[in-house]
Amino acid sequence: MSEKQTCVNCPGHPTRVVFITRQGRRVVQCRRCRLQFAEKYPDYEEAESAIYGQDYFRGSIDKLKQRKNVFSELLAEIELVLRRKGRLLDVGAGEGTLLKVAAKLGWGAEGTEIASAMIRYVRDELGLTVHKGILEEIELPESSFDAIVLNHVLEHVKNPRTTLEKVARLLSSSGVVRIEVPNLASLSSRAKNLQSLLNLKKDPWKHYSTGHHFWFFTPRTLKKTVETSGLSTVFMNAPAKQWGTKNPLHRFANAVCKRTLLGGHLIVYARVQNHVSTPNA
Does 222 participate in binding Zn ion (rule CB under 5 A)? no
In this chain, which of 18, 28, 30, 78 binds Zn ion, going by CB under 5 A? 30
**Candidates 28-36, 44-52, 91-99, 256-264; binding stretch for Zn ion (CB under 5 A):** 28-36
Spell out where the chain has E strands. Answer: 15-20, 26-30, 36-38, 87-91, 108-113, 129-132, 145-151, 171-182, 215-216, 231-237, 265-272
Residue of closest CB approach to Zn ion: 30
Candidates 6-14, 18-26, 133-141, 257-265: pick the segment binding Zn ion (CB under 5 A).
6-14
Does 32 bind Zn ion (CB under 5 A)? Our answer is yes
Binding mask 238-267 for Zn ion (x = CB under 5 A): ------------------------------
The CB-of-200 to Zn ion minimum distance in angstroms stands at 29
Binding to Zn ion (CB under 5 A) within 35-54 occurs at: 35
Contact between 33 and Zn ion (CB under 5 A)?
A: yes
Nearest to 64 by CA among 121, 111, 114, 108: 121
Task: List residues bridging with 16 in a β-sheet.
Answer: 29
Q: Please choose, out of 1-9, 98-106, 143-151, 207-215, the segment that lies near Zn ion by the rule CB under 5 A.
A: 1-9
DSSP string, 176-226: EEEEEEE-TTSHHHHHHHHHHHTT-SSSTTGGG-TTT--EE--HHHHHHHH
Nearest C-alpha neighbor of 175 from the set 101, 237, 231, 97? 231
**Residue 10 makes contact with Zn ion by CB under 5 A:** yes
Report the Cα 143 to chain-centroid distance in Å.
Answer: 21
CA-based nearest residue to 136, from 110, 160, 108? 160
**Shortest reach from residue 4's CB to Zn ion, in Å:** 14
CB of 169 to Zn ion, least distance (A): 23
Least spacing, CB of residue 35 vs Zn ion, in Å: 5
Pairing of strands 145-151, 87-91: parallel
Q: Which of 9, 15, 112, 189 binds Zn ion (CB under 5 A)?
A: 9
For Zn ion, the binding residues (CB under 5 A) are 7, 9-10, 30, 32-33, 35
